[in-house]
């Protein structure tokens, strides 16, 4: 679980401030709190938090305890991005300090036994150069996740899904030439081959030369069965004299 940042103050009495049930920490899974998320962890485990007189916003140097698995393969001194007003000033029992800055003695905490971590800075932004490494350490080393998602695996999964659904049948696809229908058509074509027939209705509202490009792309490049219907007159005649955009949309 990752508890994200928030524009709210953990010390606010505003009911809109995000809160979680402490029971989630009994699930036995790793938890990372970022900024507000770290303050929330500290609050739930009886740490001390104060609101400073000014916001800390911008880049700063941060000293890391490299013994923490969260900071594996990082340098002892990194650059990070801060954006907060509240600060943890007392760590909860059983927690350790794993990061600090010149202005913030407690910029990172951990409870290693239950794999609970908190960082006051933002690893997800480009201004924290090692931020993605920190998130990877949490996901792959601490949580044990596997980076198995790839575009290729998704394509293979979708092709199999189409094959299982179509079996010996045939497929008709309404093709506009836009991204969504084009991707769908190519995926289905890879799954069922010439059992796919695409129907492209040229309504006369495409960009100049676009209809020809759609036909060329799918007939010549992808070798997909394509029926091209020229319906320009039918569509445009219905739009004569119509000014209101919403009425045009409904007519089309």
Show which residues are catalytic: 35, 122, 124
Q: Do 30 and 1 contact (CB within 8 A), yes or no?
A: yes
Number of CB atoms found within 10 A of residue 77's CB: 9
Cα(first)–Cα(last) distance of the chain, in Å?
46
Which has the closest alpha carbon to 119: 54, 40, 178?
A: 40
Q: How far is CA 39 from the centre of its chain?
A: 23
Q: Do 205 and 252 contact (CB within 8 A), yes or no?
A: yes
Q: Which helix (H) or strand (E) holds 59?
A: strand 48-64
Q: How far is CA 78 from the centre of its chain?
A: 25
């Amino acid at each position: 679980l990752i508890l994200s940042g928030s524009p709210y103050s953990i010390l606010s009495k505003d009911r809109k401030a995000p809160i979680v049930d402490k029971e989630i920490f009994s699930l036995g899974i790793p938890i990372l709190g970022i900024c507000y998320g770290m303050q929330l962890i500290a609050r739930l485990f009886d740490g001390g938090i104060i609101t400073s007189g000014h916001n800390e916003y911008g880049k700063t140097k941060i000293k890391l305890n490299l013994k923490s698995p969260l900071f594996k393969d990082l340098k002892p001194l990194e650059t990070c991005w801060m954006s907060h007003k509240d600060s943890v000033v007392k760590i909860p029992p059983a927690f350790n300090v794993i990061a600090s800055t010149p202005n913030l003695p407690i910029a990172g905490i951990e409870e290693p036994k239950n794999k609970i971590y908190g960082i006051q800075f933002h690893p997800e932004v480009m201004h924290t150069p090692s931020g993605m490494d920190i998130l990877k350490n949490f996901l792959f080393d601490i949580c044990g996740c596997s980076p198995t998602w790839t575009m290729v695996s998704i394509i293979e999964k979708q092709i199999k899904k189409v094959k299982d659904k179509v079996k010996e049948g045939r497929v008709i696809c309404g093709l506009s030439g836009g991204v969504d229908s084009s991707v769908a058509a190519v995926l289905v074509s890879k799954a069922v081959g010439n059992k796919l027939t695409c129907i492209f209705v040229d309504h006369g509202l495409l960009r100049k030369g676009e209809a020809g490009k759609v036909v060329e792309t799918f007939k010549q490049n992808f070798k997909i069965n394509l029926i091209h219907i020229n319906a320009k007159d039918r569509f445009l005649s219905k739009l004569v004299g119509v000014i209101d955009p919403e009425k045009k949309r409904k007519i089309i």
